[in-house]
Amino acid sequence: MVLQQWSSFVNFLIYLVVSVPLLLIGIKIFMWQTPYNEMQVIKEAASCDTDIKDEAGIAVAHSLGGKVVGQALVMASAVFHSVSVLDLVIWGIIGIIFQVLVYYVFEKLTPFKVDEEVCKGNIAVGIFSARLSFATGLILAALIS
């Protein structure tokens, strides 16, 4: 009994050590593609008195937060459905790639530049971008089975 629990715990740790870095890599890829530093914009919004910076921080936080949740949904499905650690890595990478591709398609289909609008403080675009990331994450998570 104890041996079986230990084995399950070791499996948990292995999957945790693989899935969390994959999630962070996916988020870092999203952050590299933007012309601004998300963490800096969010930090400056909290420490400034101007409405524009405040709104930019809110918009960026929504957009980045949506990407985090969307990517986490994909990773959770990859963990749940994987038959091995290699399978988890493969599906995690596929999920990252398709999350990024959908974001690029979204950027091309809109009549404005999403990143520019978010950085300017367009909260509506930040929220819409976040919801798109949620939806993409849900669809990709369902496809991993």
Say if residue 108 is exposed, middle or buried (CB neighbours under 10 Å; 0-12, 13-18, 19+).
exposed
Residue 22 and residue 96: Cα distance in Å, rounded? Answer: 8
Asked, for residue 111, whether it belongs to a domain, the answer is yes
Q: What is the residue type of 108?
A: K
In a domain, 6, yes or no: no
* Residue 2 covered by a domain: no
User: What pLDDT is recorded for position 46?
Assistant: 64
Q: Is 1 contained in some domain?
A: no
CB distance 97 to 85 below 8 Å: no
Looking at residue 145, its pLDDT comes to: 76
**How many domains would you assign to the chain?**
1
Residue 27 lies in a domain: yes
**Within a domain: residue 80?**
yes
Q: What is the pLDDT of residue 71?
A: 95
Per the structure, the complete domain to which residue 46 belongs is given by: 18-143
Mean pLDDT of the chain: 90
The per-residue pLDDT for range 18-56, each reduced to its tens digit, is 999 999 999 999 999 888 888 888 888 766 555 667 888
Name which of 91, 65, 94 is nearest 77 in CA terms: 91
* 9 found inside a domain: no
- Residue 12 belongs to some domain of the structure: no
Where the chain has pLDDT below 50, the residues are: none
pLDDT of 109 reads 92
| pLDDT of the residue at 101 | 94
